[in-house]
A = this chain, B = another copy of it.
C-alpha cells in the first residue's frame, strides 16, 4: 500500500514542484486547492491541470472568502499589486501581497482533510529564501504548526500517528526549485505564479512573483514558459 499525502496545490511553480517531489518519494497525492478571493483566476485551472497530469488520487477545491477581512493586495482589489522593472526594486519588508494568516488557514484545512482520511503527511511549498518577508513561510512557523497539529486531532498523542508537515523547498532558491522540477520531468508551462495576470490570463511579468520566477529560469539558462 502506498503512503498517502495531502499537498497544498496553488497552481504555481512551487506547489507543482512539491507535487512532483512527493510523487517521486512514493506518496499517493490528495491535492487541496483554494479559491480564497485572490486576483488570479487562472491559478485554480492550473491546479486542475497539474492534479490531472501528475495523477492526484483526489483533488478538492475549497472556496473561502479571505477578502471579507481584506488587508492584502491579493484579496483587496482596491490595493494595487506592486510592479517593478527589475528584481532589485522589490521591497525587503513584508510585501502588501502578503495575505494575513493564509498559510495557517490553508494548513488547517489540510489538517481537517488529513484527519478524515487518516493521513499523516502534509506537503506545502513554502520557501524561506526568496520570500523571507512572509512570516508564515519561516521554518519556526512550520515547526510550531506541526506541534499544534499533533495536539489538535483525534490522533493526538498517538506516537504511531504523528503528523508531519513536509517543506521540501524551504531552503532552496527559485533556480534550485526549478532545476529539481525539471529533473523530475515537470512541465512548468501548466503552472501560473503571477499575482495579477493580464486580462488575457498571461503573466504580467512585473510583479514580485513574476520577477523571481523569471530569474529562476534565467539561472537555469531557460526562459519562463509562462511569459
**A113 to B102 CA separation, bound complex (whole angstroms):** 11
Question: How often does this chain occur in the complex, in copies?
Answer: 2
Interface of A is mostly: helix
Q: Is the CB of A112 within 8 A of B105?
A: yes
Distance (Å) between the CB of A48 and the closest chain B CB? 15
- Does A147 count as interface, using CB distance less than 8 angstroms? yes
Cβ-neighbour of A111 out of B68, B104, B109 (below 8 A): B104
**A61 to B83 CA separation, bound complex (whole angstroms):** 33
Q: A89-113 vs B: 1/0 string, CB under 8 Å?
A: 0000010001011111101110111
- Does A156 count as interface, using CB distance less than 8 angstroms? yes
**A154 to B136 CA separation, bound complex (whole angstroms):** 8
**A124 to B108 CA separation, bound complex (whole angstroms):** 17
Distance (Å) between the CB of A71 and the closest chain B CB? 4
Distance (Å) between the CB of A75 and the closest chain B CB? 10
Q: Is the CB of B63 within 8 A of A65?
A: yes
A76 to chain B: closest residue by CB: B116
- Does A45 count as interface, using CB distance less than 8 angstroms? no
- Does A202 count as interface, using CB distance less than 8 angstroms? no
- Does A188 count as interface, using CB distance less than 8 angstroms? no
- Does A64 count as interface, using CB distance less than 8 angstroms? yes
**A70 to B111 CA separation, bound complex (whole angstroms):** 13
- Does A135 count as interface, using CB distance less than 8 angstroms? yes
Q: Is the CB of B147 within 8 A of A101?
A: no
- Does A140 count as interface, using CB distance less than 8 angstroms? yes
Q: A138-169 vs B: 1/0 string, CB under 8 Å?
A: 10110111011111111010000000000000
- Does A176 count as interface, using CB distance less than 8 angstroms? no
Q: Is the CB of B156 within 8 A of A151?
A: no
